[in-house]
Amino acid sequence: MPMTKSIRFNLKPGDYDIERVREKGSDFLKAHGFSDDTVQTQMTILHQLISSGRKFDSLMTSENEMAVLLLIEKNAIIVEVSKPVNESSYSQLDELDKTIQSIRRWGYQDPFEPYKIDYSKICDNSQDFEAEGFELAKIAYEGGAVLDFYVSEDSILNLSAVRNLDGNL
């Protein structure tokens, strides 16, 4: 197995080359011996976290990059998206916290439940379903990952998904 256990990407706002990140991330995981199913699941998680992080773009200047980390630990694969935030993003951070807490409350039996309940209301109102936490629910439901986030002292949002490879959370 290769020695490097992590790979990092820096993405510029408005110019996210998700396919390049997916390709390099896939190659990285395959080089570490992961199955095609595991690689595909992780790339879905990576894509969804980048999509969730993009929601904070309108609040920052064009020079702020998003960092994406793919890390292999003994029994887990971690995907983390980091990007600067400012005071104008606090209401979005509150919504992010409520979304993650809602997914956690429903547990891993069916973290999609809160979104299935409101799906018809969201569609009837022609709102963007993705904006209501769909990406994050998909990470927990399809990817079997634990979601978390924090904002560091230097105002960097760190949004992560940890997928336990043992099947034990």
How far is CA 117 from its chain centroid? 22
What is the CATH architecture of 6-164? 2-Layer Sandwich (3.30)
Q: What is the pLDDT of residues 65-109, one digit of tens each?
A: 889 999 999 889 999 999 888 887 788 888 888 888 877 776 544
Residues in CB range of 12: below 8 A, 6 or more apart: 62, 65
The reported pTM is 0.80
Q: Where are the domains of the chain?
A: 6-164
Q: What is the pLDDT of residues 135-160, one digit of tens each?
A: 787 788 778 888 999 999 998 999 99
Question: Sorting pLDDT into bands at 50, 70 and 90, what band is 120?
Answer: very low
Residue 110's alpha-carbon distances to 24, 50, 51, 119, in angstroms, are 31, 23, 22, 15
Q: What is the pLDDT of residues 73-85, one digit of tens each?
A: 988 999 999 988 8
Quick one: pLDDT at residue 126? 41
Mean pLDDT of the chain: 78
Grouping H, G, I as helix, E, B as strand and the rest as coil, residue 20 is helix
Higher pLDDT, 165 or 80: 80
Rg (CA), the chain: 16
